[in-house]
Chains A and B, each alone.
Chain A
Amino acid sequence: KAGVTQTPRYLIKTRGQQVTLSCSPISGHRSVSWYQQTPGQGLQFLFEYFSETQRNKGNFPGRFSGRQFSNSRSEMNVSTLELGDSALYLCASTLGAGEVPRAYEQYFGPGTRLTVT
Chain B
Amino acid sequence: GNSVTQMEGPVTLSEEAFLTINCTYTATGYPSLFWYVQYPGEGLQLLLKATKADDKGSNKGFEATYRKETTSFHLEKGSVQVSDSAVYFCALTLYNQGGKLIFGQGTELSVKP
Contacts and interface: CB of A to CB of B under 8 A. Distances in A.
Contact of B43 (A55, A104, A109): A109
A66 interface: no
A42 B106 contact: yes
A54 B105 CA distance: 26
Contacts of A43: 89, 101, 103, 106
Interface stretch (B15-23, B68-76, B78-86, B91-99): B91-99
A111 B99 contact: no
A104 B32 contact: yes
Contact of A106 (B101, B105, B106): B101
Contact of A48 (B34, B43, B99): B99
Contacts, number: 66
Interface residues on B, range: 20 to 34
A55 B44 CA distance: 22
A33 B46 contact: no
Question: Which 5 A/B pairs are nearest by Cβ-Cβ distance?
Answer: A48-B99, A104-B98, A108-B43, A43-B103, A101-B32
Interface of B: 32, 34, 36, 41-46, 49, 51, 89, 93, 95, 97-106
23 contacts: A4-B43, A42-B103, A43-B89, A45-B100, A56-B97, A56-B99, A58-B100, A90-B43, A90-B44, A94-B98, A96-B98, A96-B99, A101-B32, A101-B49, A101-B51, A101-B93, A104-B93, A105-B49, A106-B99, A108-B43, A108-B45, A109-B43, A111-B43
